[in-house]
Amino acid sequence: MLPSLRETVDYYGLMANRALGQNFLLDSNITDKIIRLSLGRQNIADFNNYNIIEVGPGPGGLTRSILANNPHSLSVIEMDERCIKIMEDLRNETNCPMKIINGDALTYNLPEISASPRQIISNLPYNVSVPLLLKWLLQAKEYSAMTLMFQKEVADRIMAPTHCKDYGRVSIIAQLTCKVEKLMDLNPECFTPAPKIWSSVLLFRPLENAISAEDIAKIEKITALAFGQRRKMLRQSLKMLPDIASKLEQLNISATSRPEELTPQQFYALAQLF
Ligand code: SAM
């Protein structure tokens, strides 16, 4: 029988390490709710048909809620080796095939770890959440779904619509590759230790016409220039790009627009001309 999550944390003396972005979810009502909302929005009863990858399982609260929903297999990648023994204890108690990796998720190509159809679930370490997301969006179609927790401010940027102050590079790439939906907001008291900020859980599902990694690279070049000087008009911020005035005109985009006025699809169309 598994000890409670708090007993596990006490037994292993698992003090949260700030450098690893550790804010733990120790309340199973919350972790169960995250999984329930994700399953509900995907319209599936459990994870029976999916291989799940969890990044940063920590003491294993979310991991326990995933395992309770019958995944075909579970792979976990955790940088903190103190948590590996905890994962081994979980593996001893479950019938689900579990792969445990002690390493940096940024250095792994997840499709090599886990077979398709696969889903990623993570309460992301906040210090690497955007680099991890951008890496996975480059290969969005490899994942049936991603259920990911971010700082609320980052989630707001991801979901921001055109004309919004939070709209930018990450919103454009996310919205050109995935349908993104908010599942819930969590207040700081849900975590141990409590961070200063709220968090949000988002569900990403790949669009059928998700753009390719090559197109993402082209768009990244343009958005870096445009949002690097987001107050400036496009004719100024993009002036280094060859024939930019005629290309904007060809797409019926005013050269006096500012970057937040262009939809993700307009950035995509512009990138196609280079
Ligand atoms: N899933 C646990 C929970 O919800 O209580 C812990 C979440 S905590 C916000 C993030 C976890 O990611 C920590 O356990 C941390 O050690 C781990 N982590 C940090 N950077 C990582 C990286 N680059 N690769 C894999 N795991 C990482």
Taking residue 242's Cβ as centre, other Cβ atoms within 10 Å add up to 8
For residues 59 and 175, state if they share a domain.
yes
Q: How much distance in Å is there from the Cα of 129 to the middle of ligand 1?
A: 10
CA distance 168 to 164: 9
Q: What is the per-residue pLDDT for 63?
A: 98
Q: Which of 164, 190, 206 is the last residue of a domain?
A: 206
* Distance from the alpha carbon of residue 105 to the mean position of ligand 1, in angstroms: 9
Please list, in sequence order, all residues whose beta carbon lies within 8 angstroms of the beta carbon of residue 108, skipping any fewer than 6 positions away.
77, 101
- Ligand 1 close to Cβ of residue 25 (< 6 A): yes
**CATH number reported for the structural domain that contains residue 155 in this entry:** 3.40.50.150
Strand order in the sheet with 73-78: 98-102, 73-78, 51-55, 118-123, 143-151, 199-206, 178-186
Are residues 197 and 228 located together in one domain of the fold?
no
The domain boundary residue, chosen from 157, 185, 206: 206
Residue in 191, 186, 158, 188 with CA at minimum distance from that of residue 172: 158
Question: Looking at residue 259, which CATH number applies to its domain?
Answer: 1.10.8.100
Same domain, 59 and 130: yes
* DSSP 8-state symbol, 43: T
- CB of 186 closer than 8 Å to CB of 198: yes
Same domain, 20 and 54: yes
| Residue 86 Cα distances to 59, 64, 106, 247, angstroms | 6, 11, 22, 56
Query: Is the CB of residue 259 below 6 angstroms from any atom belonging to ligand 1?
Result: no
Q: How far is the CA of 16 from the centre of ligand 1 (A)?
A: 10
The rounded Å distance from CA 249 to ligand 1 centre is 47
**Residue 192 three-state SS:** strand
Q: Which of 206, 229, 255 is the last residue of a domain?
A: 206
Q: Is the pTM of this model over 0.85?
A: yes
**Mean per-residue pLDDT pooled into runs of 10, the chain (274 residues):** 89 88 94 98 98 98 98 98 96 97 98 98 96 97 98 98 97 98 97 95 97 95 96 96 96 97 98 94
Q: Cβ distance 210 to 176 under 8 Å?
A: yes
Q: Are residues 197 and 265 in the same domain?
A: no
Query: pLDDT value at position 119?
Result: 98
Nearest to 175 by CA among 192, 158, 191: 158
CB of 60 within 6 A of ligand 1: the answer is: no
Q: How many Å is the maximal CA-CA distance in the chain?
A: 69
Same domain, 48 and 164: yes
Q: Same domain for 247 and 177?
A: no
* Residue 233 and residue 182 share a domain: no
Which atom of ligand 1 has the smallest separation from the CA of 127? Answer: 20
Distance 100 CA to ligand 1 centre (A): 14
Same domain, yes or no, for 223 and 244? Answer: yes
Identify the pLDDT of residue 33: 98
Question: What tokens were used for 41?
Answer: 């929005």
80 and 116 part of one domain: yes
> Helices 264-272 and 213-228, interaxial angle, to 10°?
110
Cβ(78)–Cβ(22) below 8 Å:
no
Determine the 3-state secondary structure of 79 from DSSP: coil
**Using a 6 Å cutoff on CB, does residue 150 contact ligand 1?**
no
Same domain, 187 and 243: no
Protein residue with its CA nearest to atom 22 in ligand 1: 104
Query: What is the domain range of residue 257?
Result: 213-271
Ligand 1 center to 118 CA (angstroms): 20
Residue to mutate (ligand 1; options 24, 124, 150; most atoms within 8 A of CB): 24
Q: Are residues 202 and 122 in the same domain?
A: yes
Number of domains in the chain: 2
Q: Which pLDDT belongs to residue 237?
A: 97
For the Cβ of 58 lying below 6 angstroms from any atom of ligand 1, the answer is: yes
d(CA 209, ligand 1 centre) in Å: 31
Q: Write down the pLDDT at residue 13.
A: 87
3-state helix/strand/coil string of 148-183: EEEEHHHHHHHHCCCCCCCCCHHHHHHHHHEEEEEE
Ligand 1 atom closest to Cα of 25? Answer: 5
